[in-house]
Amino acid sequence: MMAWTSIHAFRAEPTVTTSEEQSEGRSETRDRVHVFRDDALGDHDAVGLAQAIRRGEVSAAEAARDAAARVRDVEDRLHAVQVHLDAPAHAARPGGALAGVPTFVKDNTDYQGLPTGHGSAAFAPRAARRHAPFARQFLSTGVTVLGKTKLPEFGFSPTTEYEAGEPVRNPWHPDHSAGGSSGGSAALVACGAVPIAHANDGGGSIRIPAACCGLVGLKPTLGRVALNAQSRQLPIDIITDGVVSRSVRDSAAFLAAAEQHYRNPKLPPVGLVEGPSDRRLRIGLLTDSPNGVRSDADTRAAVEETARRLEGLGHTVEPVDLPIDPRFTKDFLTYWGLLSFLIGVTGRRLGTDFDRRRMDGLSRGLREQYLRDWRTTPGVLRRLKRTREAYAAGFRGLDLILSPVLAHTTPRLGHLSPNVPYATLIERLVDYVAFTPVNNIVGTPSLSVPALRTTADGLPIGVMFSARPGAERTLLELAYELEADHPFPTLRTP
């Protein structure tokens, strides 16, 4: 039996609050929380750490031990981990590209021997009997799994908060959201506990926490990686797995390594992307959402500044309109409500004690709204599927589209809490998550990278590049170019 412990059983290390003492433990400067230290785990990204392990400069066991200690150092401030393995699980294939790199799996993906809780209080999770297909693919890269990270209930929210219990906090400013639904993974990577972590995306859940926490977040093309169990049951498959990382090469290395385990023959291979391309691109600029939501001043400035950088690098940037059906937002919410309804109906498959009345306010509200609108389902599905045509039309003559990830900067905790009355919460969600869902409906790849600009509180702002199906290579090459032009800030080097 695999040994695991709820993270709540940990006793946290004493708090270290001065930057001068960061080599001895956790460093907090201006309320920032990080565990970067002058050692292999602190000095390297995932690719660099794997290289150091191969050279014998550090062992995989040492890297796992050091990462686990870092998690313990920050967990009482960030609350990012759901389950911690007492004995880290090393990959069966030690020769993978990321061999020995410590990481976490998100708690909506089965990992043999660990419970899968989906962030919900509606049931008591049981230990998974086997790895999910993506978990096997993730392990094939050589990573060492240390446990599972938190997410909001069933991944429905763009912030990792709960009706009861501590939210996941943003290491750049713990009073703010770390994003969702892969908020736990993003918090651990941003604070320096691990260099890379599993994330998945059904409406922005890789890109949103990446934007909130200053990370690289690539949502691959639908079908690029192994499908998860939830995907196979959906009328429109919107879920794609991937990672969040601090460097472009880590996201590129993950995708190339994953492709060695499984490659979809219907998509062009990506291969290992190792740097920028000489090709100059024609890039569309979208500052306001197709559904009419205007981005706030900081977000708009970050996107426009990125556009100027791209022009300075020789790319062509021009305004673009995406001719998305004006009913898209309402249709997507109806579809989201359908998913909540289906979970309520089939929840006993997750646990025999499942009680949909214990689902949180957002999940209940989505389900109840769907029950009022269920007769519109056929029309909703038809219109959502036609979004592919509008998306393709918007890309005519373009290689990529640049836009915000989110319509406004990272909110304080509580603004999007499931305790907020549903009508108010949905209005806030629509005004926040105004750009990312289109890529999920269409199935196209999309990448969040940090902008140069931050908020007055020092919080990162993400910008997003979207592409045609199968064009991950183009996204990664451009991200490499932006990173080389000006390295992305981290909490070690803000």
Q: Which residues are catalytic?
A: 106, 181, 205
Give the three-state DSSP class for 394.
helix
Contact 299, 408 (CB under 8 A): yes
Contact 284, 400 (CB under 8 A): yes
Helix 422-432 crosses helix 328-346 at what angle (to 10 degrees)?
Answer: 130
Contact 39, 48 (CB under 8 A): no
Residues in a beta bridge with 135 = none
Residues in a beta bridge with 327 = none
Cβ partners under 8 Å of residue 256, min gap 6: 97, 270, 271, 272, 273
Find how far residue 406's CA is from the centre of its chain.
Answer: 13
Comparing CA positions, the residue from 203, 184, 257, 250 lying closest to residue 225 is 257
Q: How far apart are the first and last CA of the chain?
A: 43
Contact 385, 377 (CB under 8 A): no
Neighbours of 297 (CB within 10 A): 10
Q: Residue written as tokens 């029309």?
A: 379
Report how far apart, in Å, the C-alpha atoms of 143 and of each of 165, 273, 469 are. 30, 19, 28
E strand or H helix at 384? helix 377-394
Find how far residue 158's CA is from the centre of its chain.
Answer: 10
Give the three-state DSSP class for 216.
strand
Comparing CA positions, the residue from 196, 191, 245 lying closest to residue 32 is 191
> Which sign, positive or negative, has the C-alpha torsion 452, 454, 459, 464?
negative
Neighbours of 177 (CB within 10 A): 30
Give the three-state DSSP class for 163.
coil
Contact 395, 439 (CB under 8 A): no
Structure tokens at 302: 């970050």
How far apart CA 222 and CA 287 sit, in angstroms, is 25
Contact 259, 271 (CB under 8 A): yes
Cβ partners under 8 Å of residue 162, min gap 6: 119, 121, 152, 153, 360, 418
Residues in a beta bridge with 199 = 242
Give the three-state DSSP class for 242.
strand
How far apart CA 257 and CA 255 sit, in angstroms, is 5
